[in-house]
């Protein structure tokens, strides 16, 4: 099942268009994506029984490009991110992969829809293609074996980064450097966990102006998806709708020789196999 945020309302994405969950269920479910994620099992049961017969479908010629798509969760309580979680990316940044997950925050006001434009805030504004986890059941002290079960689904994200602010001092300033306006675009929709057999076997790519800079697989993560979820939950209670950016593979602008950074008018296209594509322009 794929769930998106269309004009602020939770919808199921079908091949023929979008089904408004609140309308089609005659009010049984809330239009809020957060509420739908918290009731995902009930929504799925309803969808399998009733939704195939729903004819009130909002169609779009090119669903992924719809400018009406918002962030997959409109107001998550927390957005975590993992730094340096691919060995080849740590190496291109001149850093050693951390011995335990390096967690920072992307603050909620940086969240944006899958086609949002983001500002060039410094001469070193960079891209980072990332797999994003959407927490479902959540909880505290989640054991490694239970960690996948805490996830509702997956989507594509860009961890847009202001390297000037990120690296301005020592120690580094990750959270603010990655939290400017629209620096956390996600989408195009949530693909529920049952449709992804292994989140650590997904091809992940990023193109800038049609040139492929990142082309890797989530298999190369230092800390796997279950390890990240379990680790964060030992400190922070994970709640339905929370997002976790899981780190970026090699091929970011900072890692090019010489480095390449984004400029106004650039097109950033991020794709994860099976999860879709997000398109974000630098403005």
Asked if residue 227 binds Zn ion (CB under 5 A), the reply is no
- Residue from the set 20, 92, 128, 205 that interacts with Zn ion by CB under 5 A: 128
- Residue from the set 5, 110, 248, 271 that interacts with Zn ion by CB under 5 A: 248
* First and final C-alpha spacing in the chain: 33
Binding window for Zn ion (CB under 5 A); candidates: 41-49, 112-120, 209-217, 242-250? 242-250
Cβ of residue 210: shortest distance to Zn ion, in angstroms?
23
- 130's enclosing H/E stretch is strand 129-135
Contact at 8 Å (CB) between 93 and 258?
Answer: no
Residue number with CB closer to Zn ion (159 or 242): 159
Asked if residue 20 binds Zn ion (CB under 5 A), the reply is no
Conformational region of residue 84, where left means phi above 0, alpha means psi within -120 to 50, and beta covers everything else: left
Dihedral sign from CA coordinates of 59, 151, 102, 224 = negative
Cβ of residue 159: shortest distance to Zn ion, in angstroms?
3
- Residue from the set 20, 92, 126, 159 that interacts with Zn ion by CB under 5 A: 159
Binding window for Zn ion (CB under 5 A); candidates: 95-103, 155-163, 216-224, 273-281? 155-163
Q: Which residue is nearest to Zn ion (CB)?
A: 159
154 beta partners: 133, 191
Residue number with CB closer to Zn ion (159 or 227): 159
Residue number with CB closer to Zn ion (13 or 206): 206
The Cα–Cα gap between 241 and 221 comes to 23
268 beta partners: 208, 280
Q: DSSP secondary-structure letter at 93?
A: T
Q: What token pair was written down for 158? A: 């860009």
Binding site for Zn ion (CB under 5 A): 128, 159, 248
């Amino acid at each position: 099942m794929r769930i998106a945020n269309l004009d602020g309302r939770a919808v199921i994405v079908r091949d023929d268009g979008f089904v408004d969950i609140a309308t089609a269920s005659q009010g049984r479910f809330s239009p809020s994506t957060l509420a739908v994620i918290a009731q995902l099992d009930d929504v799925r049961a309803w969808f399998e029984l009733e939704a195939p017969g729903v004819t009130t479908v909002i169609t779009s010629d090119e669903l992924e490009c719809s400018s009406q798509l918002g962030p997959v969760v409109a107001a998550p309580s927390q957005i975590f991110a993992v730094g340096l979680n691919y060995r080849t990316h740590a190496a291109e940044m001149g850093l050693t992969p951390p011995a335990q997950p390096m967690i920072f925050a992307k603050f909620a006001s940086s969240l944006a829809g899958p086609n949002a434009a983001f500002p060039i805030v410094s001469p070193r504004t960079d891209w980072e293609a990332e797999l994003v986890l959407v927490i479902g059941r959540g909880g505290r002290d989640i054991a490694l074996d239970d960690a996948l079960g805490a996830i509702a689904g997956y989507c594509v994200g860009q961890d847009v980064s202001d390297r000037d602010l990120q690296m301005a001092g020592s120690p580094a300033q990750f959270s603010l450097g990655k939290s400017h306006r629209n620096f956390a675009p996600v989408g195009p929709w949530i693909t529920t966990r049952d449709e992804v057999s292994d989140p650590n076997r997904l091809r992940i790519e990023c193109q800038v102006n049609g040139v492929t800079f990142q082309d890797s697989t989530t298999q190369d993560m230092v800390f796997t998806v279950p390890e990240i979820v379990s680790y964060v939950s030992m400190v922070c209670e994970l709640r339905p709708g929370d997002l976790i950016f899981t780190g970026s593979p090699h091929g970011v602008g900072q890692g090019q020789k010489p480095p390449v950074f984004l400029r106004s008018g650039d097109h950033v296209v991020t794709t994860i196999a099976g999860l879709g594509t997000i398109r974000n322009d630098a403005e």
